[in-house]
Amino acid sequence: MTQAFDLVVIGAGSGGLAAAKRAASYGARVAIVEGDRVGGTCVIRGCVPKKLLVYGSAMRHLLADAPSYGWSVGPTQADSAELLRRVRAEVDRLNQLHIGFLEKAGVELVGGWGRLADARSVAVHDASGQEQRRLQAERILIAVGGRPHRPPIPGAELGWVSDDLFELERFPQRVVVVGAGFIACEFACILNGLGVAVTQLVRGDHLLRGFDLESARAVQEAMQADGIDIRLAHSPAAIEGQPGDLTLITEGGERIGCNGVLLATGRRPFLEGLNLEAAGVAVEGHRIPVDADQRTNVPHIYAVGDVTDRINLTPVAIDEGRALADSIWGGKPRQVDHTLVASAVFSQPELSGVGLTEEQAIERHGAEAIRVHRARFRPMSQALPARDPKVLLKLIVERASGRVLGCHMVGEHAAEIIQMAAIAIGMGATKADFDRTMALHPSVAEEFVTMPN
């Protein structure tokens, strides 16, 4: 059976859902094809369940600090099995909620795996590869996201990728985390907070490459002080053993025993099975390249989100999907601005930033052309417990104009605070504009507007 649509979306993740619902709101006939649960990486196996695990693991510090505020707390123990069960239940609820949103928007949800049959049609296959339906499309949107990448080492199949952690019945006693990016750091902190002994192997000389270096090092110091064994200049060579009883062998010959290995070694666009060649869609490396209007080399086939491997963040994918629908069906042509995107790492402590890092500002403008304002202090929430880590706040300022080029923070509520700073920086705010802003006292964020010149 063949049906015709104005838009067929392959992938019901953040970008695909946003495009489908926005296009349908303008009257387009839209179908969205998904072989997994609705919601994509963010809702099902990424941002949402991960943040819930962050909240769960952070309870350890709250409970430990409670006596400092006059609360008597008896013996406590983390039950990772109960936490994981509740997180999965919430993911199931959100999956059903998103299905309802599609129905309300008038988008037809087609269960199965979509692949391009030709330049104008999408074949929908079941798990066995049998074609079930064929959808004719005036336009096609590829929004299949990305998947974790395993390093090519012997025994890699014995390790977990981030998707696997959400499906565990409980977390084990000892885990080796391989990787230095935000996924590796977030899960290292989650596991550590829930009582797991964590060893983190980092190929380079610091964590969180691409983030402001001083901020990244502040996170690293705090993680180490909290008991995470971070081993720099260590790379995995092989994994041996049986599930639950593994040995990771490093390139230097060390043998590290553990109950599980998390391979947080990056993600790649999920191009497998799309049959892109049938429609003549070009691939560049591991990704689908697109222009500023999200268009591939085939004019009526588009791609948004992680499959394009530009800025792999949920809000970016959502805005790309909506911009596409606004431009084609809404009569409001617009392009997504990728030049100023705030980002956060939900490590413990949290890191966030927007604009240029100190290193990027020096490279672009020269060290003499910028000025760095910083504040480092113990937040009031930790005054009575008298514990670290300290908060770090940074403003990167262009000397000649006073314009704030970057804003970075390490500490509690960092992402919430940077979100508001992103508005100011996007409007071209100067250090003088920050200084003129009346401080809200006592707060952590007030330091951004009270830093001395």
In a domain, 343, yes or no: no
The answer on 136 and 15 residing in a single domain is yes
Which of 265, 291, 316 is the endpoint of a domain? 265
pTM check: above 0.85: yes
Interval 74-104: pLDDT, tens: 999 999 999 999 999 999 999 999 999 999 9
CATH number reported for the structural domain that contains residue 374 in this entry: 3.30.390.30
Check: CB of residue 381 under 8 Å from CB of residue 375. no
Q: How far apart are CA 339 and CA 346, in angstroms?
A: 22
The answer on 223 and 203 residing in a single domain is yes
Asked whether the CA dihedral 169, 170, 175, 178 is positive or negative, the reply is positive
441 is catalytic: yes
Which of the residues 149, 206, 408, 441 is marked catalytic?
Answer: 441
**Domain tally, the chain:** 3
The answer on 281 and 415 residing in a single domain is no
The answer on 257 and 279 residing in a single domain is no
Distances (CA, A) of 198 to 51, 117, 190: 19, 46, 10
Average pLDDT value for residue range 286-301: 98
In a domain, 176, yes or no: yes
Burial class of 151 by CB neighbour count within 10 A (0 to 12, 13 to 18, 19+): middle
In a domain, 63, yes or no: yes
Q: How far apart are CA 18 and CA 5, in angstroms?
A: 17
So what's the pLDDT on residue 1? Answer: 58
Model confidence at 193, pLDDT cuts 50, 70, 90, reads very high
Domain that holds residue 427: 349-450
In a domain, 20, yes or no: yes
pLDDT at position 453 over 90: no
Interval 278-293: pLDDT, tens: 999 999 999 999 999 9
Model confidence at 3, pLDDT cuts 50, 70, 90, reads confident
In a domain, 336, yes or no: no
Burial class of 251 by CB neighbour count within 10 A (0 to 12, 13 to 18, 19+): middle
In a domain, 344, yes or no: no
**SS3 per residue for 309-344:** CCCCCHHHHHHHHHHHHHHHCCCCCCCCCCCCCCEE
pLDDT at position 2 over 90: no
So what's the pLDDT on residue 388? Answer: 92
Average pLDDT value for residue range 294-302: 98
In a domain, 107, yes or no: yes
Interval 356-402: pLDDT, tens: 999 999 999 999 999 999 999 999 999 999 999 999 999 999 999 99
In a domain, 273, yes or no: yes
Model confidence at 28, pLDDT cuts 50, 70, 90, reads very high
Interval 304-354: pLDDT, tens: 999 999 999 999 999 999 999 999 999 999 999 999 999 999 999 999 999
Average pLDDT value for residue range 146-165: 96
So what's the pLDDT on residue 332? Answer: 97
Average pLDDT value for residue range 174-187: 98
Q: Mean pLDDT of all residues in the chain?
A: 97
CATH number reported for the structural domain that contains residue 205 in this entry: 3.50.50.60
So what's the pLDDT on residue 83? Answer: 98
The answer on 324 and 254 residing in a single domain is no
Q: CB neighbours of 100 closer than 8 A, spacing ≥ 6? A: none
Average pLDDT value for residue range 4-21: 98
Both tokens assigned to 2: 């063949």
Both tokens assigned to 248: 């990771």
The answer on 283 and 224 residing in a single domain is no
